[in-house]
A = this chain, B = another copy of it.
């Protein structure tokens, strides 16, 4: 590989001149610039990333911290990753994928201390995420996809679950639904499922950028519980009944949850699911009980990629924000910090959209009295 010294020699200038020509940080005469450019093409010169990083303290590499076990990946995860990767490239950065155990904090500290990355993006942020303190201690700037319990002063981008819940519930109410159920992950399930108390602190100033809406507060809960709370609030505000049933992340988990749901609230007219892996089990259990979707029971899925939602029969109506766009937005948020912006933390909520497919239908007998059986 040609070095900068090679280029300088061939162009008949000093190394520093080549460097300045490359960075454009000081004026170079046209003829000199031409000779340098010619020499660079002739030699096929590419600056050495390590020498550059050693001197300038900037690597132009950002890390994507992805707490995944290869076997149990969420399906929209790829979209976050590709969105972030694509945007990083557009903005001249490399993206390092760092899959890890959320609890393996020592490894992270070491990684952060290497100075390899200029900043980090955190996926699947937990309410009390141990990674945050590690990054703060290491002085590595970061932005979160999702957020922790107390995100004050921290940059993040998240789905606007309040808006998304409103969108979902409004659509369903318009179809006559008044008895709604929510199936989330094992961490959900309301009081008997260990949901943390709702704290409605109105912190920070709302902001709206593009498809992004303002941040107004946190309830300190994990994703699933936040979605659950948002749906519950939206549902009860319309006078609808609401029940929540947790489910393991598997088809069997879905079956089981459906059984519990039928025991608890047999009159349910719509199930809103935030647990991709439980979907097949729920749909099969419903079928086994003779509940046709959507005629007898509507179903809606939150944050499910469109091509996945197409696979079920009927295809699932979904609601959610674009994972690709959130991935992109996270990169922009981080690079704003890396570019030295000292402004206060920016907390962005990304608006979702409703994608109508075939799994929601009007309630036929909207005002049937409790006690009747729908089947």
Residues of A within 8 A of B (CB): 1, 44-51, 53-54, 59, 61, 64, 66, 68, 70-71, 73, 75, 77-79, 81-83, 85-86, 89, 94-100, 109-110, 113-116, 139, 251, 276-277, 279-280, 283-284, 287, 307-308, 310-313, 315, 324, 327
Q: Which 10 A-B pairs have the closest CB atoms?
A: A46-B113, A70-B82, A78-B78, A50-B53, A50-B54, A49-B114, A49-B116, A311-B311, A280-B310, A85-B99
Interchain CB contact under 8 A, A79 and B89: no
Contact partner, A78, options B54, B81, B279, B287, Cβ 8 Å: B81
Q: Which residues of B contact A110 (CB under 8 A)?
A: 46
Q: Indicate whether A96 sits within 8 Å of B99 (C-beta atoms), given known contacts A280-B315, A312-B311, A315-B280.
A: no
Whether the pair A113, B73 counts as a contact (CB closer than 8 A) is no
Chain B contacts of A61 at CB under 8 A? 96
B46 close to A54 (CB less than 8 A): no
The 20 sampled A-B contact pairs (Cβ below 8 Å) are: A1-B113, A1-B115, A45-B113, A47-B114, A48-B54, A50-B50, A50-B59, A54-B54, A70-B82, A70-B83, A70-B327, A75-B307, A85-B99, A89-B99, A94-B98, A96-B97, A276-B307, A277-B307, A308-B308, A308-B311
Known contacts A50-B115, A68-B82, A73-B79, then 8 further A-B pairs from the complex at CB < 8 Å, ordered by chain A residue: A1-B115, A50-B50, A53-B53, A71-B324, A73-B82, A75-B307, A82-B99, A95-B96
Q: Given A46-B110, A280-B310, A283-B313, A86–B115 Cβ distance below 8 Å?
A: no
Chain B residue at minimum C-beta to C-beta distance from A85: B99
In chain B, what residue has the closest Cβ to A328? Answer: B70
Q: Whole-angstrom distance between the alpha carbons of A59 and B51 in the complex? A: 12
Partner of A70, one of B45, B75, B86, B109: B86
Q: A308-B311, A311-B280, A315-B280 are in contact. Are A85 and B114 (CB under 8 A)?
A: no
Complex contacts, A47 vs chain B, CB 8 Å: 114
A95 to B1, CA, bound (A): 23
A94 to B99, alpha carbons, bound, how many Å?
Answer: 10
Q: List chain B residues, Cβ under 8 A from A115.
A: 1, 46, 48-50
B113 touches A44 (CB 8 A): yes
A313 near B312: Cβ-Cβ < 8 Å: yes
Instruction: Kindly identify which residue among B68, B95, B313 contacts A97, using a CB–CB cutoff of 8 Å.
Output: B95
CA A73 to CA B77, docked complex, whole Å: 11
| Residue in chain B with minimal CB distance to A77 | B78
Question: Given known contacts A82-B73, A280-B311, is B97 in contact with A97 (CB within 8 Å)?
Answer: yes
Q: Report B-chain residues with C-beta under 8 Å of the C-beta of A77.
A: 78
- What are the residues of chain B within 8 A of A83 when measuring CB–CB? 70
Bound-state Cα–Cα, A94 to B78, Å: 19
